[in-house]
Amino acid sequence: MTPDAVGLAIVLIGGIVLLGKLLRAWWGVAQRLFLPASILAGFLALVLGPDVLGAAVGAVFGEEAALADGVFGETTLEVWETLPELLITVVFATLFLGHRIPSPRTIWERGGPQLSLGLTMGAGQYVLGIALTALVLTPMFGINPVAGAMIEIGFEGGHGTAAGLSGTFDAVGFPEGADLTLGMATVGIVGGILLGVALVNIGARTGRTEILDAATQHSADEQRGIFGRFERGAAATMTVRPSSIEPLTIHFAFVAVAILVGVVLLEGLQALEDATWGAQDVEVIEHVPLFPLAMVGGALVQLLIDRFDDRALVDRAMMMRIQGISLDVLIVAALATLSLDVIGEHLASFLALAAVGLAWNVLAFWFLAPRMIPIYPYERGLTDFGQSMGVTATGLILLRIVDPENTTPALESFGYKQLGFEPLLGGGLVTALSVPLIGAFGPWPLFAAMFVLLVVALVVGIGYFGRQQPLQATEDG
């Protein structure tokens, strides 16, 4: 694989992303569903690839015909296959950078109710997925027990986490798990938008939403995903003078340091495993990917920044831009290389897990959010519902619909909740460990641990936060 081939593959992704954005701007269906341009671009690349266009041309004109392998060459697809596992590390390294780490008490008080709901949703996805797989799908269809983790990885983790774990799935003998989980992530994000918008409308019509009413309209610019000329602001803040170093460069350097800290942590844990239980051929850390440790590295670097950086050199908005481009390219590359054949081979198991995951998330939102969150339960619960179906962006899209001016404390509470949630689920340590744990010890130890977490989250959410007085001033202050 030559440098020119790698460069061409990356340039092609840029062109496809632009086409995806044009689709979002011109296609009414995509606007009404608020589908991200990266998802549209990824599906477009998938259609133009070997599994759709290539298969159709091959079936009609023969396997030697032009475009029988799709529009993109084999080398380009090989490059794209390597990108998700690299870029997910960048995404997670930036999660805490530029955001002052608050005290645990602040996280607990402001984000506790949503943290309880989020952990309930995530742990429930493991409990239901593992039970369904171990008791029904593996005996009936022979699918690997590791498939029990696919709901949480695909729904909570999203495309980035699913793609980032591809090497881990290979290592435990379930290589098709990567494509199945990417498919699950697609079901989650599309289902999150469709069901989320439906729940928004139900809430507005029944009076459950406290800000939005049924007559609320979104501007054409909002639906196209662009800012109007008089709405535009700075994408980030210049914290250093370009004459000394480019501001984007210094932020990239902080991300690189966070990743290097993650590398050191991962290698240290792997060395510890080799010296202890690894000597008995029990390998768990060996199959853990880098990205959750890069997230820990980012948090450690941010703690040092909080302590020593009195000039505020790290801008959170700039970190969000780095995270955003990494995630967009990651999603396009992951969807473009998705294997539809693998999903077809395990279609019954895939559909069963997807249906259970969708049903659980809707029921948890509808019945548990009002019992766990004392004020603005619909707005705040809907944000957690969106995240539990796809990615954080899905939750924020739904929040933007029900609370367009950030009148409620939902956004602030959701941000605090993420500080306690992301290190565990949604691509955190539990998500990363779930596949190697099932591969090494079978499904039931992880099932037991997630069942305990589910019970604890329910008890704390309903028994503690749900009984608090809904003091508006306390929550907003």
Q: What are the tens digits of pLDDT across the range 435-458?
A: 889 988 899 999 999 999 999 999
Name residue, tokens 């967009």: 328
Residue 42: name the closest of 332, 337, 325 by CA.
Answer: 332
Residue 415: name the closest of 446, 387, 443 by CA.
Answer: 387
What's the confidence (pLDDT) of residue 342?
67
Measured between alpha carbons, how far is residue 374 from residues 162, 223, 270 in Å? 33, 31, 43
Asked if 394 contacts 88 with a C-beta cutoff of 8 angstroms, the reply is no
What's the confidence (pLDDT) of residue 34?
66
User: Token digits for 85?
Assistant: 């596992």
Asked if 467 contacts 377 with a C-beta cutoff of 8 angstroms, the reply is no
Spatial distance between the Cα atoms of 460 and 240, rounded to a whole number of angstroms: 45
DSSP H helical ranges for 94-225: 104-132, 138-141, 150-151, 158-164, 166-171, 176-206, 220-224
User: Token digits for 77?
Assistant: 């697809």
Mean pLDDT of the chain: 83
pLDDT digits (tens, 9 = 90+) for 103-152: 778 778 778 898 999 999 999 999 999 999 999 999 999 899 999 999 99
Write out residues in the chain with pLDDT < 50, as ranges.
Answer: 214, 471-477
What's the confidence (pLDDT) of residue 213?
60
